[in-house]
Amino acid sequence: MGVEICVEGLTKSFGHQVVWQDVSLTLPAGEVSVMLGPSGTGKSVFLKTLVGLLRPDRGSVTVAGRDITRLRERELYEVRKLFGVLFQDGALFGSMNLYDNIAFPLREHTRRSESEIRRVVLEKMDMVGLIGSEGKLPGEISGGMRKRAGLARALVLDPEIILFDEPDSGLDPVRVAYLNQLIVDLNAQIDATFLIVTHDISSARQVPDNIGLLFRRELVMFGPREELLNSDEPVVRQFLGGRMQGPIGMAEEKDAAQVKQELAQLVDTAPAREPTPRLLPGPGITRPPRWEAIARREAALHRKEVTGA
Amino acid sequence: MSLSPTGALRHSGNLFAMALDVVRAMPRRPFQAREFIQQAWFVASVTILPTALVSIPFGAVIALQIGSLTRQLGAQSFAGAASVLAVLREASPIVTALLIAGAGGTAICADLGARKIRDEIDAMRVLGIDPVHRLVVPRVLASMVVAVLLNGLVSVVGVAGGYFFNVVLQNGTPGAYLASFTTLAQLSDLWAAEIKALVFGAISAIVASYKGLTAGGGPKGVGDAVNQSVVITFMLLFVTNFVMTAVYFQVVPQRG
């Protein structure tokens, strides 16, 4: 079972520039959450703060009863064993082949025999569909494979929490779809708490239980998927609709008068009001009760839609 | 590089803090033997050839200077003694310092910097592994060991070069040259030089690692980090060299 992450009043700035302030949210144990936000709103900074790579100015991050922001370096390394993090480009060690990369955490942290390590590594590589590429170096494979290998490495210590930093950046739509399916399947299989940081709207619609939106140096909203998808908040509508009219500008936010005018002229063309079907674990995966419930709810929703039409 | 005084202070403080971290992480188990051997081999492989090639002309220059100086002073019989002394005491630690910082340190800094900007270092931290213990300590130890060995190499090549230039090219007397070897130099000179090399190796590896691990801003950041690491290391090494030489003369009684 995953672990809950409780963030309270988190504020981070670099010099005089505030990245975001007073962010409070709870990532429920075992659920998939997505953090959305325009580029440059500090999504990656948020993720790094959660694992204690960056120290916030104020606020707390509580994981398994311990406040990450106040731990000493040594204790931090212990708590981090609960985490698996998929970095943007996989962050594989360039000098090792894929097998050694994925075996690395096991060799460093456990005293398992080489044959046992081999079993675990091959199991995880199979999970992400990388069997047969064990001997390749990170420089020799595509970006999508690097991400999957990074994911396998993050999984190898059986983490309770998995953080994804833009898993869909730089991938084509088909690979994004596969990766999303993989994320959902994984959640059903290992039951860990997932946080996905992204700006890909279609993933955000299909994958998570909860969605949050960072904008203008604060957390605009965080809540269950349906709530956010049906929200009337202009920022949320603009972001989900992927359109120019609204508070989000090219460089920074726009001035209030201009936003008002734009919104008045706008005919809401975004087809987001009808419920987006949720991505469910694949047919080969045994669903835990949580996913059974979600599947039933989805089926009911879909039926209603069909009969209503 | 920021030029504000607080920035400079902060960097010095962080550098010193990392040096302390390295010392603290050194005895921690498990010792990264594999990484240490790889790094020692790597640092040696990038420094041995340039060191040998630099120390021959360096020994030659010293031999030429001393050869003409002793002739002017009418003390040709001391040519050997003076040249050994110069090579052993100053030339070889300095050449070692230049090479270990210029070839070894830059390679370490570029390697760690490249890993840093590819998020590898953060990934390592997230996997619960302390990069100072896993990466920096083996590099510092490797650089220290290689520096000590290089110092020996430079001493031998420098003295041999000095002999060649003094005896063969300046028509010095081989017997007098060899006989005067130990009139001024003593064994403690060699020890002092080796200790200097040890310290130089540690400093250059720590500065290079610090600069590499704090590199930022993409590939250009790595280039800047390498550049700064060489400059900072050189400054530190020459100051340290001066201090250690001054202490040496106070502590060890001189011959003659």
Domain residue extents for chain B: 31-248
CB distance A108–B114 less than 8 Å? no
A150 neighbourhood in chain B, CB within 8 Å: 123
Burial of B64 (0-12, 13-18, 19+ CB in 10 A): middle
Kindly state the average pLDDT of the residues A104-110.
88
Predicted confidence at residue A18, as pLDDT, reads 87
DSSP labels, A76-107: HHHHGGGEEEE-TT----TTS-HHHHHHHHHH
CB distance A89–B125 less than 8 Å? no
pTM: 0.83
Kindly state the average pLDDT of the residues A70-86.
87
Predicted confidence at residue B70, as pLDDT, reads 85
Query: What is the ipTM score, two decimals?
Result: 0.78
Kindly state the average pLDDT of the residues B230-256.
89
pLDDT band at B244 (very low <50, low <70, confident <90, very high): very high
Look at A47-51, B71-75, B222-226 and tell me which has the smallest mean pLDDT. Answer: B71-75
Q: Which residues of B touch A (CB under 8 A)?
A: 114-115, 118-120, 122-130, 134
Predicted confidence at residue B31, as pLDDT, reads 86
The answer on pLDDT for A304 being more than 90 is no
The answer on pLDDT for A88 being more than 70 is yes
The answer on pLDDT for A250 being more than 80 is no
Q: Which residue of A has its CA nearest to B121?
A: A91
Fold (topology level) of A5-229? Rossmann fold (3.40.50)
CA atoms of B163 and B172, how far apart (whole Å):
9
* Residue of A44, A50, A80, A158 to mutate, testing the B interface (most B Cβ within 10 Å of its Cβ): A80
Summarize pLDDT for B1-42 with one digit per residue, the tens.
Answer: 456 778 888 889 999 999 999 999 888 888 888 999 999 999
Residue with tokens 């021959």, as numbered in its chain: B56
B114 neighbourhood in chain A, CB within 8 Å: 94
Q: Which residue of B has its CA nearest to A156?
A: B127
Predicted confidence at residue B208, as pLDDT, reads 95
The pair of structure tokens assigned to B72 is 């002017």
Predicted confidence at residue A267, as pLDDT, reads 63
A93 neighbourhood in chain B, CB within 8 Å: 115, 120, 123-124
The pair of structure tokens assigned to B80 is 């050997």
Could you tell me what percent of chain B has a pLDDT over 70?
98
CB A5 within 8 A of CB A193: yes
Helix (H) or strand (E) holding B111: helix B106-117
User: How many CB contacts within 8 angstroms connect chain A with chain B?
Assistant: 57
A89 touches chain B (CB under 8 A): yes
Look at A162-171, A235-244, B50-59, B187-196 and tell me which has the smallest mean pLDDT. Answer: A235-244
Average pLDDT in chain A = 84
Helix (H) or strand (E) holding A213: strand A210-215
CB distance A83–B122 less than 8 Å? no
A233 touches chain B (CB under 8 A): no
Summarize pLDDT for A277-293 with one digit per residue, the tens.
Answer: 888 888 878 888 888 88
A107 touches chain B (CB under 8 A): no
Alpha carbons within 13 A on the beta-carbon side of B91: 28
CB distance A91–B118 less than 8 Å? yes
Minimal Cβ distance to B119: which of A80, A91, A104: A91
pLDDT band at A309 (very low <50, low <70, confident <90, very high): very low
CA atoms of B212 and B107, how far apart (whole Å):
10
Predicted confidence at residue B16, as pLDDT, reads 93
Average pLDDT in chain B = 88
Please tell me the distance in Å from A45's CA to the nearest CA on chain B: 12
